Structure 1
Amino acid sequence: MSNIDKDSGADTIGTRIKSLRRSVGLSQANLGESLGVTFQQIQKYESGRSRIAADKLQRIAQALHVDVNYFYDTRNGESLSEKEVRRGQTLPTPEGILFNEHFDRIKDPRARYLLSELARVLCEIEAGK
């Protein structure tokens, strides 16, 4: 397959699907089953070899518990996974990804600090401290 045959938009979306699917612990077979397609079709979506219809992408977003805009978000010219690599972070859940996106939008340093302290205290409560 030549580079001309491969759609860079489909490739970017596919990469995001793959990353998010792995982060939530779903296999290609599990995701395919929830969409009514084979794991081979999921492989084609993730590799960018197959375009994804809008309704199918919406169902993928629902299965992975994110808004469909997650797959298109390219603020500042970088994808979410590139931001994670640049920060040296791995966000294990869709909720973690969304939390970080929203946290990054908070400009007030005191509000950022208080929110991080709240997260720390909640972790301590869950750990039984």
Structure 2
Amino acid sequence: MIKKVPNPIDRHVGSRVRMRRMLAGVSQERLGEGLGLTFQQVQKYEKGSNRISASRLQQIAKMLDVPVSFFFDGAPTGDMPAGGFSDAASSAYVSDFMATSEGVQLTKAFVRIKSGRVRRRIVDLVEALAEEDSGIA
């Protein structure tokens, strides 16, 4: 049997649900309870393996205090030129990062830092660590 690959838009919407849920500090269990679902169903929505109906997406938006359009921000359009780059591709990179617990934790901590100089030094440190880890240095 051939494994079905999630539609890119379903994956994008699911990752935005996950990102917003995590930023709001809501567990999958709590979101599921509010929707009358199991946390496993919420997981499937977040992975994009199950599509979210329009009415369900509106419920989720209300529970997470965002407009429905939030879930489509930066969604792939399918009309990208072959081999080209777009803002949607770069925002997908950010969405993927923000869909991780580390991304949310790092972002929450980073925005609490008031000093622009300290934030810049943190960015420099992370870039240096990434270069070292990839063998570029």
Instruction: State the TM bucket, normalised to the shorter chain.
Output: 0.5 to 0.7
- Aligned sequence identity (%): 39
- Over 3 Å counting, the alpha-carbon distance change for 1:80 and 1:67 in structure 2 is farther
* 2:122 paired residue number: none
TM-score (normalised: structure 1): 0.59
TM-score (normalised: structure 2): 0.56
- Over 3 Å counting, the alpha-carbon distance change for 1:25 and 1:80 in structure 2 is farther
The Cα shift of 1:44 comes to 0.4
* 1:5 paired residue number: 5
SS at match of 1:61: helix
> How many residues are matched?
89
Q: How does 1:97-112 map to 2 (within 5 A)?
A: none
The Cα shift of 1:65 comes to 0.4
| Partner Cα distance (1:28, 1:11) in 2 | 17
Structure 1 residue runs of 4 or more that deviate by more than 4 Å after TM superposition: none
The Cα shift of 1:80 comes to 7.4
The Cα shift of 1:91 comes to 5.5
The Cα shift of 1:8 comes to 1.1
CA deviation string 1:38-88 (max 9, x = no partner):
1110010001110000000010011100000000112832437727x6xxx
* 1:101 paired residue number: none
Runs of 5+ in structure 1 lacking a partner? 97-129
CA RMSD of aligned residues (A): 2.7
- Over 3 Å counting, the alpha-carbon distance change for 1:29 and 1:20 in structure 2 is same
SS at match of 2:107: coil
* 2:116 paired residue number: none
* 1:58 paired residue number: 58
